[in-house]
Amino acid sequence: MTHRFLIMGPQGAGKGTQAALLAQRAEVPAISTGDIFRANIKGETELGKLAQSFTSRGELVPDSVTNDMVRDRLGQQDTAEGFILDGYPRNAAQVEALDGILADLGWSLDAVIVLTADRDELLGRLSRRAELEGREDDTAETIARRLDIYEQETAPLIDAYRARGLLVEVDGIGEIDAVAERIDVALAAR
């Protein structure tokens, strides 16, 4: 059985944490576009320099750049049994691009996990994360911008994936282990 999953949800909903845990359980790589951009920014690569001009403002990196990067990453050897994509796709054009990438590889998605959380909880989590991690893009302004982009561009994708029968919605509020357990139960109930 393959494990080709997307994990979606607003910033601060715990996507990265749950993606990493689920990746361990499913023995597939967790692929976070945000992490790949941050690694490139740290390494001062050309991609990193380009990405930083957008990430530092809380804006999305241009689709062409992000789509090529994901195509490249999914084409690597370790994704044969599956993957968990975290932070991608984030808009309708990226959904279309991902459809094309997967079609070229002869693959289809197994499930789209959505972590839900209310905005107050998210803002609290994000300001704590800003203190702990000191991410450049975790200022009050960029956080608000990212949440707005999420609401306008990314949240509508949930309906599209629901219409395809792929959606698995999980309450993201609670202890990390409890949320992980909910994800397992929800995936098993598909």
Q: Which residues are identified as catalytic?
A: 15, 90, 129, 135, 146
Subset of 16-75 contacting ligand ADP (CB under 6 A): 33-34, 37, 54-55, 58-61, 66
Torsion of CA 145, 125, 181, 82, to 10 degrees: 40
11 near ligand ADP, judged by CB under 6 A: yes
CA-CA distances (angstroms) from residue 186 to 50, 68, 111, 166, 173?
38, 32, 10, 12, 15
Residue number of the CB closest to ligand ADP reads: 34
Count of residues touching ligand ADP (by CB under 6 A): 17
Asked if 125 interacts with ligand ADP (CB under 6 A), we say no
Contact between 42 and 52 under an 8 Å Cβ cutoff? The reply is no
With respect to ligand ADP, which residue has the nearer C-beta, 161 or 165? 161
Nearer to ligand ADP, 82 or 87 (CB): 87
**Residue whose CB is less far from ligand ADP, 53 or 185:** 53
Enumerate residues 136-175 that contact ligand ADP by CB under 6 A. Answer: 137, 146
Whole-angstrom distance, CA of residue 108 vs CA of residue 23? 18
Does 9 help bind ligand ADP (rule: CB under 6 A)?
Answer: no
Report the interface residues with ligand ADP, using CB under 6 A: 11, 33-34, 37, 54-55, 58-61, 66, 87-88, 90, 94, 137, 146
